[in-house]
Amino acid sequence: MQTIRTLITIGLVATAAALRGDENTISIPPEPPGGTVYQRVKQMLPPHVGCAVMVFGKGASGKPIVFKHGYGACRYQIEDGSKPEPITPATTFRVASFTKVLTAAAVLKLVDDEKLLLEDSALKWLPGLPETFRPVTIGMMLDHTSGLPPYHGLLNIQQLPEATDLNVLRTLSRLPDAALTSMHPRTTYNNTAYVLLGLVVQQASGQPFADYLRDEVLHPAGMEGSLLFVEGLNSPPNRAFGHQPGPDIVVQQTRQRLQQMIALRERIAQQQAQPNAAIEQQILMAQRQLAAVPDNADWHEEDQGPYTRLGGDGALYTSLNDLEAFLHAVRDRKVPLSEAGYDLWMTPRVSPPENDGFGDSRRGRTYACGWMVDERLGEPRYSHRGATKGFRQTIQWLPENDRAVVVLMNSVPPGPEGPESWDDALIEALGERVMQVVLGE
């Protein structure tokens, strides 16, 4: 059996050069039969531009393991032709809905400081909301029982120029009262609530939400390289840019369509002498599309989507290094919350909902404040997935045995039916398999 190289103590790693944020590899875990764990994990990953993977916990030998690796690059191509920066444990990715965990911590910090109450009505802090929202409390917004309407369709109906926190608030303020009477309280995953919670933090603290989050939650938790992205006001350090598959994916679909139309033309030709003009036109258009697409373009950069300027529900950029520090801070109760605040943050207060927002509520998943909580691999799991334009991620922490897995991708893998078919459940399952491989389970 090959020699097992493990991380013996945190102190040993802290003195090693491998702990520098500019290194691709932090530690090398045990090497099971069939190749190194690094290679095995790499083979498990879907097609990607860049990917960062972290696992920590006790291995099969009982000794602690920390596995932090970067795969691929921060960008697929750079305009000046220079070589893209490689992904490292210090590379920051947009982690989308995991932001909610930190937003909830910021709200609870204000509760600890007696600047707001969980029982406060949303209207106390956002008085422009319709009167029918008065029964909706801060606590209901935290645990997804507010029943607030989703902002996606509403923003389109109002035809506002862009999705910002204030535009979400403006949209809700313009809704007729009659449309809201049956919407609360309901237990369902709610992005709108967390957008509004970011504005509540701003109102109650007197600081911009991004600044308060940085000063009162991120930095105290050891997340020095993380930030809530506000376009034009700050910039994520060591940033990974998001990508969508293509145009080669488009080429494959167009080629398939072209083959189908050619086959249809042949069937029609067997039945009639004259060619079908509509089919001929579609074949010609497909051939022109294929001729215009470069052969070597696998991905295109698509870093910001229509909803990526929203703060409280998904604008956090962070890295493997900072997520490791954060999870250890949560474990050691070093995030600046009182004991009561921790209990509120980590304890589910509602039963599993009919719709958990991810299509798999039958697994018994419920909510604490920002966290998704269920049982996995025989113990409680705190987690949150995230999906936004150009990014996919899963962050899972099992505190009972202090083990975790993080998979961050700056590209949306192509699935059998296009990029959207690589959904949250798939990356969550990938994370589970990666953790089992690294820890030798």
CATH of residue 147's domain is: 3.40.710.10
Is residue 82 assigned to a domain? no
Is residue 338 assigned to a domain? yes
Is residue 70 assigned to a domain? no
HSE value, Cβ hemisphere, 13 Å, CA-based, for 48: 28
| Same domain flag for 221 and 334 | yes
| Same domain flag for 233 and 282 | no
Is residue 51 assigned to a domain? no
What's the CA gap between 39 and 31, in Å, rounded? Answer: 10
Domain that holds residue 277: 247-297
Is residue 84 assigned to a domain? no
pLDDT tens string, the chain, 441 residues long: the values are 333 233 222 222 222 333 333 334 333 334 444 458 899 999 999 889 999 999 999 998 889 999 999 999 999 877 666 788 999 999 999 999 999 999 999 999 999 999 999 999 999 999 999 888 899 999 999 988 888 888 877 776 556 667 889 989 988 888 877 455 445 555 678 899 999 999 999 999 999 999 999 999 999 999 999 999 998 899 999 999 999 887 645 666 677 777 887 877 777 777 766 677 787 888 888 777 666 555 555 788 888 777 778 899 999 999 999 999 999 999 999 999 999 999 999 998 776 655 555 545 445 788 899 999 998 878 999 999 888 889 999 999 999 999 999 999 999 887 665 555 567 778 888 999 999 999 987
| Same domain flag for 238 and 251 | no
| Same domain flag for 202 and 325 | yes
- Count of Cβ atoms closer than 10 Å to residue 71 Cβ: 18
| Omega before 33 within 30 of 0, i.e. cis | no
- Helix then strand count (H, E) for the chain reads 14, 12
| Same domain flag for 347 and 225 | yes
**φ, ψ for residue 434, nearest 5 deg:** -60, -45
Q: Report how many domains make up the chain.
A: 2
Q: Which residues contact 60 (CB under 8 A, 6 or more apart)?
A: 30, 439, 440, 441
Rounded to 10°, the helix 99-112/339-346 angle is 150
